[in-house]
Each structure stands twice: as structure tokens, then as C-alpha cells.
Structure 1
């Protein structure tokens, strides 16, 4: 997950959470990467000042109460909140990974066995939510994060108590995402039942395995029309044969025709076991498949850098330095200096030199000074030859190295400084 620096108008802290960077934003608010006093990372959600009113505070307070009620290994944990603050905020567990929508768009749909594993995991998590008398009501690929420990469900902002008469929406008012919305929810039917989350999970699994939703159109209004029309069947093109019966049932127009979440888990297990795999093995493969491989690229000097957690917000992006930039022999492998808290040229940068002491053309230092047979490479272009002037004394905190090691360290510092955005 990419994190951008804070804007000048952003708060530096909320409650006991220090804000380190921006994670994302939506129509109602901004999500920051925060850190607790004890160093626990958190996703801190803040309502935009322009939309703070009594109704938004009431809805935010309801989301907080919902998160206090539910728990589980597949639900992003509640960490803290204040709905009465000048800027209402809510902190939940930070999940280091992309959401399902981003993963499918960048790396393509999941194989059927991994989609079945995802379906079983999320169905079991939703079942726990329903046990608490709650509905999610807005399950979609963007609300499932694929972290290093598996998928987790986020954003219970539209969650509602199934037996509660309290409603923050007017009669027949529809709130949610139409592409994953059940027909009865789109039609404004109340009260809703657990079947709406079954339909949304079916739409999510369809997107995961085929890359599209049950109904797609140019405008949300047209999507609502297709979803609520009993004569328009969901588009199941691209769905593997082993998942087609399950998704057909989950996306049935009538709520009474959809399977329960327990039946969804059982059918997902059957798909996995038919391919000679156990459910636990499929879950591990899903996590391994969806873990995002971060690729650090050198950002232009005039661009705003992004940092990958857990690097502090004031760190720079990792920069690749090639052998050519170090003017080392062609067979020396690429050097990628690690992020450092100290400035380039300090002892921290110099300490990277020993890592290259075994590289071709470098003779390790011996106690007491340079080895008698030390090998010296031809100086690169623009390199000033040594003079007879006495060398300045080495700082007491700097390790002693051979001449070649000091040369390599100096080139590292020069190349790193040239690329650093500061």
C-alpha cells in the first residue's frame, strides 16, 4: 500500500495517534496512516470538515458502536475513536496490502480455487458479523484488504442492526454501492436480511474470478435498473464451471433463493477439495498469491515521494543505484543502499562499504592498515588522483577500511546524494 506525505492543512495528530501520511480518501473523509503512543500502526479515518454536521456525526457514532461490537481475525480491529471531536475520527487496525479491486485490476483475476478460498474466508467472517445481529450492507472489492496475514473486511460505515428500528436513512432511500447491491436493497426494501451480504459476496467473488460485476452500465441509475429488474440475469461470463452453480445461487434475484453463509462455506470447500487441495492449503496459497510485491522506483526529483510502511513518513523512497553509477567493474552486482535515518555521507552510509568487501576487485582490509598486495582499480572519469598532502585524520567513530573500500563508500555516498530528493 502506498502512502503519500501529509498536506500542510492536515492535522499532525488525532487523539493519541500521530499521523504519518495519507492512505486514501473518499467523498466523506480522508484516511491517514497513524501510529499509537506504543508504536501500533493504525488507519485513522477522519470526516472532512465540509461535511461535518449532526447527521454525519450520528452515522459516524453508529459506525464506532458497530466496530466495538464485532471482532474476529478477518475484521480490521477497532483501536479508538472520538465522534465528538472537532474533526471526528476513527482508528482501526492498519492492514498492509492492496484492496481486492486494485489487485484484480493490476494483476488479473484469481484462479477458481483461490476465489473459493476467498469466498470461504469472507463468508465465515460475515457469519460472525451476522451472529452479532449486524449486516455489513456495503461489501465490495474495495472493502476487502489483502494483507500479509490474509484478507480482512473493512468499512462498516453502512452496517445496520438487523432487528433495530433505528435508521439514519429516509424511507425508500438507498445507500450503498450499486455494482454489488442486492435487488431488494437497491429497491429500498426494509428491513433487510442476511441475504443482502450473501449477494454482495457473490458479486465480489464474480469480480475476483472474472474481473467484472453482475450488472454494469454507463450510469449508477442504469445499474440500479438492471439490478432490480427480475428479468435481467447477472452476467456470469468468464466464470469457471466449478464456481458457476455457487455464484448463480448467490446472485439469485430473490433473497429466499440464495444459500446461507454456512452453505457458501461448504460449497467453497467442495470446489477446493475437488482439485485435490485442503481448505487450509488453499488459504495459504491465496495469501501467498495476493501479497503485494513492492517495487521501489527512483522518483523524479520534482515529484512527491511515496513511502511504504513501516518507513517513517520523512523517509525517502528506496533508490536503485547501478554499478555504472558507482564506476565499479561490470561484474559487480547492483547496489541498493538501505533507507537510513542519517544524512548521506554520515557514518551510517559509510558502514555499507563492508557489504561489498567480498565483491570482485576488492581486497578485505587487514588489521593495522591496507594489505601489502591491495588491488587498486583504475580511477573513474573526473576522479582526482591522490596527492602528497597529509590525509585528514579519520573520525573516531568511522571504521577503518582498505583504500578500495573507502573509494567504494565514497562513490556510494556520491551516487546516493545525487538521487536523494533532499
Structure 2
């Protein structure tokens, strides 16, 4: 039993719901597993927004790398619009920290280095994530993967506030320039988001205390109101502080961020990058979360009338015995004439009987 079908994908189970839409575990006609997000209608009613979303989908087709959940399919012009990406088993970074507590410094730094590598590949195709946060990072069997690219463009400031201006992203992890609604964003917004995410991974708390949206956004846009880095290990405090600089131009580039995070990870643990990758997976991957294709899933390509396209007879065809071929007679071996020997032996026995 499924929840419905969208463009041939069978919706099996809800995975979550957010401001941008509902996410389902779905299966393609060829049994590929995907996470399919159905975009909320009110977010994409405006033709210009739909076109921007379509452009983002085109950009997503160029994204590559093992740290990104790859795009499988999408239809921004459908009703409802939808987007399907690779299904990645595992818990989100938020779920893991909530359930098990903050990550050790070496593993957190390694997670950050891997995410920096993934984001760098995303930026190479001139795409920004814009909504980097613990909920958008899946801790899979091979380490962390980024999800929910291209969807932040659908969220308007009115979804958080009634004031005019465009704002994309989740407030608690947004850079100051995003909060101010600046249009010309750069890769520095994702550097800020990565730092905010790593602060949570290391401490379990955000950059600012929980509060309402107005107060939070005002604090983020106040240059003198510095983010809370309490609990961040000393090895990472200088780097994360630089990544959270109020001025986007003062933040380090992703390439430098990745190198410095990897250096902290290896130095603090005395282990190689390959060993740390295994440590991260062993610590964070929850294999009991994996969803499989149901064994009783109906074939989505079955004829709607319930009859096969070609009628097949139910009467078995008679089975004919195999044709018997007369075997060739075995070759005749010529027999030697030994009658003379038999006669000789008989004569010898006859002579002995008369002696």
C-alpha cells in the first residue's frame, strides 16, 4: 500500500515536513530509492519564483561529488512542483546530536572538512546552498552528505516576518547579509552556515540563545553582538570565529577552511584522514534507519485495466518426447581363427586317456 504516485514515483513513507514542503521516501519504476520533496503551492505560485526554481534545478544537474545527495529528477512546472534526490540512509546531524550529544573534536573537524569539500564543488558550478544547518546534513554510511540544495530560493522573508525584503535560509544559521535581505550573496554565506553548524555539532547549542524571530534577526545584524562560542574546543575557536566574521570579505575561503579543519582532525587524534572517515561513520551512522523497497510493492508499470498487454494461454503446450535416433551399430571387430588350437588340445587330452 502506497501513499500515492507522482510522475511514476510511488510514495512509500513520509520522511519529514518543513516550511518548503513535505518529503517522502519514494521508489522509481525501476526500484531506485529517492527522497522526493513536494513543494508547497503558495511558495511557487509566482511565475518568476517558479522560473528561479527551475534555474536552480538546472544548476543542480551540474553538482557532483560524494558529499552531495545527487539530483535524481525534478519537475518545477508540475502541479505540485517536486524534486527527487538520492535517498541517503542515516540520521541528520541535528538528530544525532540531540540523541547522543556533541561530537568529539576530531570527528567534528573531519565532518567539517568533508562538508567543506562538498560545498567547494557546489560553488564551482556557481550554486550556493543558502540554508546550511544540522537538519540538512545526513550522516550516511560513508560520512556526511548535504541535502536541500536550491530550495532556499523559495522562502521569502514574509515566511518569518511581515517586513518587506527577501530573505532565504533558516534564521538561526543565517549570515548577517542574508538577514538583511541582500541580493548579491557570495560563497561566504555558506562559510558562515558551516561554522554555525559546526558550533552546534561541537556544543549542542546555537550561536544565539533561543528567542523569537525578531530578536534573533536583530542580534545577528548587530556587529557588536558576537556569536556564542562557549564550549567550542580551543583548537577550533580561532577558525570558527573567523568563519563567523560579520564582514563576508573577512571570512576565509572554503579551500582554506577545509585544510585547517583536516589539520585539526589529524593532529588532535593522531589518525590519518582515511582512519578518521571510518571513525566518523562508526560513530554517527545509524544503520537501523535505512528504508528498503517494500517486497510487496506493486509494479507501478502494470496495465491500468489489470490485464496483460498480451494474452497468454494457460493451457500448457504438450511436451513431445525427444526424437529417437537409431544408434549406429558398434563396429565389428574381426575374430581370430583359433579352431586349430582347440583341435590340438582335444587330441592331447584324448591321447592321455589311452595311456
User: 2:11 aligned with 1:29, yes or no?
Assistant: no
**Secondary structure class of the residue paired with 1:129:** helix
Distance 1:47 1:27 in 2: 9
Of 300, 306, 310, the residue aligned with 2:292 is 310
**Aligned residue number for residue 279 of structure 2:** 285
Of 270, 274, 278, the residue aligned with 2:267 is 274
Distance 1:230 1:260 in 2: 21
Of 226, 249, 256, the residue aligned with 2:249 is 256
**Aligned residue number for residue 134 of structure 2:** 141
Query: Residues 29 and 158 (structure 1 numbering): CA distance in 2 closer, same or farther, change over 3 Å?
Result: closer
**Secondary structure class of the residue paired with 1:294:** helix
Cα contact 2:157–2:166 (8 A) shared by 1: yes
Structure 1 residue runs of 4 or more that deviate by more than 6 Å after TM superposition: 167-171
Of 87, 110, 113, the residue aligned with 1:120 is 113
Query: Residues 49 and 186 (structure 1 numbering): CA distance in 2 closer, same or farther, change over 3 Å?
Result: closer
Instruction: Give matches, 1:37-48, under 5 Å.
Output: 37-48=29-40
Shift of 1:169: 8.3
Cα contact 1:96–1:309 (8 A) shared by 2: yes
Q: Which has the larger radius of gyration?
A: 2
**Aligned residue number for residue 67 of structure 1:** 60
Query: Residues 257 and 52 (structure 1 numbering): CA distance in 2 closer, same or farther, change over 3 Å?
Result: closer
Distance 2:152 2:123 in 1: 11
Cα contact 1:143–1:154 (8 A) shared by 2: yes
Distance 2:124 2:130 in 1: 15
Distance 2:195 2:43 in 1: 33
Q: Deviations over 1:155-213 (max 9, x none)?
A: 113467xxxxxx98898422211111111221223311111110110000000011111
Cα contact 1:59–1:168 (8 A) shared by 2: no
Cα contact 1:66–1:156 (8 A) shared by 2: no
Q: Deviations over 1:333-365 (max 9, x none)?
A: xxxxxxxxxxxxxxxxxxxxxxxxxxxxxxxxx
Instruction: Give matches, 1:393-404, under 5 Å.
Output: none
Cα contact 2:156–2:166 (8 A) shared by 1: no
Of 192, 207, 210, the residue aligned with 1:217 is 210
Distance 1:159 1:29 in 2: 11
**Aligned residue number for residue 208 of structure 1:** 201
Distance 2:172 2:120 in 1: 22
Using the TM superposition, name which of 57-66 and 258-267 deviates more. 57-66
Contiguous gaps of at least 5 residues in structure 2: 159-163, 298-355
Q: Deviations over 1:359-416 (max 9, x none)?
A: xxxxxxxxxxxxxxxxxxxxxxxxxxxxxxxxxxxxxxxxxxxxxxxxxxxxxxxxxx
Query: Residues 151 and 109 (structure 1 numbering): CA distance in 2 closer, same or farther, change over 3 Å?
Result: same
Taking structure 1 as the reference length, the TM-score comes to 0.64
Query: Residues 17 and 78 (structure 1 numbering): CA distance in 2 closer, same or farther, change over 3 Å?
Result: same
Q: Deviations over 1:101-152 (max 9, x none)?
A: 1111111110000110011001111111111112111111111111112111
Distance 1:177 1:96 in 2: 23
Q: Between Structure 1 and Structure 2, how many residues are aligned? A: 289
Instruction: Give matches, 1:22-421, under 5 Å.
Output: 22-49=14-41, 53-55=45-47, 57-158=50-151, 172-275=165-268, 276-292=270-286, 294=288, 309-310=291-292, 312=294
- Report the RMSD for the aligned CA atoms in angstroms: 2.4
**Secondary structure class of the residue paired with 1:69:** coil
Instruction: Determine which structure has greater relative contact order: mean sequence separation of CA pairs < 8 Å that are 6+ residues apart, divided by chain length.
Output: 2
Distance 2:181 2:272 in 1: 40
